[in-house]
Each structure stands twice: as structure tokens, then as C-alpha cells.
Amino acid sequence: MSDSLSDLSSKSIQEISECSNLKELELLRVKYLGKKGKITKELKSLGKLAPPERPKAGQRINSIKEKVQSLIETKKLVLADVSIQEKIASSSIDVTLNGRKNNRGNIHPISSILREIESIFHNSGFRVEDGPEIEDEYHNFTALNIPENHPARAMHDTFYFNTNYLLRTHTSPIQIRSMETHGVPIKVIAPGKVYRRDSDITHTPMFHQIEGLVIDKNINFTHLKGMLHQFINTFYKKDMELRFRPSYFPFTEPSAEVDILSKDGSWLEILGCGMVHPKVLENLKIDPEIYTGYAFGMGVERLAMLRHEIKDIRLFYDNDLHFLNQFK
């Protein structure tokens, strides 16, 4: 038995030392120390020996068992470290390579123009106001001195829910609600979505407007012209030539449309404006003998089309990434 134990000891030590990976090492552990392992079998065979021989043989077997266990644990640590180093080597990153680019979205050109316009007016002391997109006839038409027989109230121009509620056709109702809430003097802009039954290369059923309102004592048309000159020059980042043409709006008197001179020498309309009609002030119980004011309104898509030389307004809403990526 002594020779067989010596062979078992030397063979196990050799196989453990030659083991090259953790899977093989686990197989060796089972081979020698498992329930049916060779060392385990030797321990179970002690009962077959004569009683005087059992203590010495048992001590020898246990010594081999402890040695094999120790060698396996030591080898396990070595192989685990080797495995880690191999993984690190195989998955290492060359930090000198260019980084991967993430495709990032960009702000929609209309949202970008809106933010820019709001910033310009905010820097001039205007407060940004908001209001409901579903409006009643009083705030959308009546309070703005728009008569009942005006074409803007017709079903073919306006999206009605019922006889009283509709999708707002302009952001002027926000101005009315702002005066109801804050009174006068007031200096606000009202950006937002508006809705009209119209669709072609220059019109869409939903589009964006920014309207402005200033009410105070001794406000006149000169203040309006000066403010619009300042806004247009700031927006286009250069001195622009403007032309004011007489026009008609129910809620302003006198009224005007404003054109800018294009590169090719033609005049392009960009907005409407005028002095707030006295009847609008009277509807809100504001004395027109004490307070005067001006109002203006512009289409955001119109300004974007002029700045970027876009011919078809529908391009803004086709979700064409080739088109939208131009505005990064």
C-alpha cells in the first residue's frame, strides 16, 4: 500500500502542476478528492487493513489529501489570475483610437427660430405669455373687435368644435387674457401654435405665430416702428430696409403690413402690425383716452423660410431627416 500511495501522491502532484486551465483543474479535484475520487477510495479501504496498520496508513492518506487540496487551491489562484490577464489582454482598448461618434438629434428649425425670437424680445423687456389652443369665440374674435360677419369666423376658415369653441386662429387671444389677468401697462409676446383651414406651399393647417402687445401711456406708432426695426435687424444680424404699407386689421387702427427688401431687390411681407383699436381697449374696460398701445404678429415659418431660402413650408413637417439635418 505504501508504494501505491507514493505513486498516487507523485502522480497527483504532477498532473496538478501540468494543469493549464480552471476546467481541467476542477476535473482533477473530482478525480482525486471527489466522492468517488482516488484519495477518497483509499480512505474508504482502510477498513480492509489490519487494525495495527490503520493509524499509520490513515495518517499517510490524510497527509496526501491535505497536500493535494493545498496544491489545487494554490493552482486555482494562479490559473484564475492567468484567466483574468488573458481577458484583459483580449478586451483591451486602444485609447489612442478616435472615439465612436454618437448620432445626436438637433432642435427642429421652427423650435430654434421660436427660441431665438423669444430671446430677442425678452432682452427688450417683453414677458412671454401662453394660453389655451382651444379658445372660445369671445377671446378669439369678439374681444378683438372682429365682427360676426367677418370671413375669419366662417366655417371654411376656422376649425370649430361647436358654436362657441374652436382651435385658435391666432395667438391674439393670449394678449386679451394677459390684459384680463395683469391689467395695464403691459408688454408681452404670445408665441404658439395656431390653426386655419389652409394648405399649400406657403400655408399649413397648423403653424406658429408670435404676436406682441405693448399698452401704456403715450405709446405711438413711432415706438412700434422703432421696436420692429430693432427686432428685424437683430434677427437678421444686419441693417435691413423696411417698408410699412397701410393695411386693415379689425383689432388695430391704423394698421400696416411690413416688408423687407430681399437680396434681389424685391419686397417680401413678413408681418402685420398697428395701433391697438380703441374698441379692443374698451372691451377690457381700459380707457383709450389714457392708454394707447401697439400690436404686431408674425408667422414663425415665414421668417424661417426667408432666412433659410426655403420655398415650401411643408418641408418643415415632412419629417425628412435629410432636410432637418441641415439645421444642426
In sequence order, the β-bridge partners of residue 134 are 167
Pairing of strands 252-261, 242-249: antiparallel
CA distance 228 to 233: 8
User: Domain spans of the chain?
Assistant: 2-90, 109-327
C-alpha distances in Å from residue 219, one per residue of 22, 120, 176, 275: 88, 21, 18, 9
pLDDT of residue 200: 82
Specify burial of residue 99 (Cβ count, 10 A radius: 0-12, 13-18, 19+).
exposed
- The three three-digit cell numbers of residue 262, written as one number: 430681399
SS3 98: coil
**Cβ-based neighbours of 30, under 8 Å, separated by 6 or more:** 37
pLDDT of residue 16: 84
328 residues of the chain, pLDDT tens digit each: 556 777 778 888 888 888 888 888 888 888 888 888 888 887 788 777 788 877 887 788 788 888 888 888 888 888 888 888 888 777 777 778 787 777 777 889 999 999 999 999 999 999 999 999 999 999 999 999 998 888 877 777 899 999 899 999 999 999 999 999 999 999 999 999 999 988 887 788 999 999 999 999 999 999 999 999 999 999 999 999 999 999 999 999 999 999 998 888 889 999 999 999 999 999 999 999 999 999 999 999 999 998 888 989 999 988 888 898 888 7
Q: Are 171 and 212 in contact (CB under 8 A)?
A: no
Neighbours of 54 (CB within 10 A): 13
| CA-only gyration radius of the chain, Å | 43
Q: Are 195 and 167 in contact (CB under 8 A)?
A: yes
Q: What is the CATH number of domain 109-327?
A: 3.30.930.10
pLDDT of residue 56: 81
Q: Which amino acid is at 168?
A: R
The H or E element spanning position 26 is: helix 22-33
User: Which of 207, 208, 234 minimizes the C-alpha distance to 126?
Assistant: 234
User: Which of 309, 277, 302 minimizes the C-alpha distance to 292?
Assistant: 277
pLDDT of residue 2: 58
Q: Are 115 and 304 in contact (CB under 8 A)?
A: no
pLDDT of residue 72: 85
User: Which of 193, 169, 188 minimizes the C-alpha distance to 177?
Assistant: 188
Neighbours of 250 (CB within 10 A): 16
pLDDT of residue 136: 96
pLDDT of residue 294: 98
pLDDT of residue 250: 93
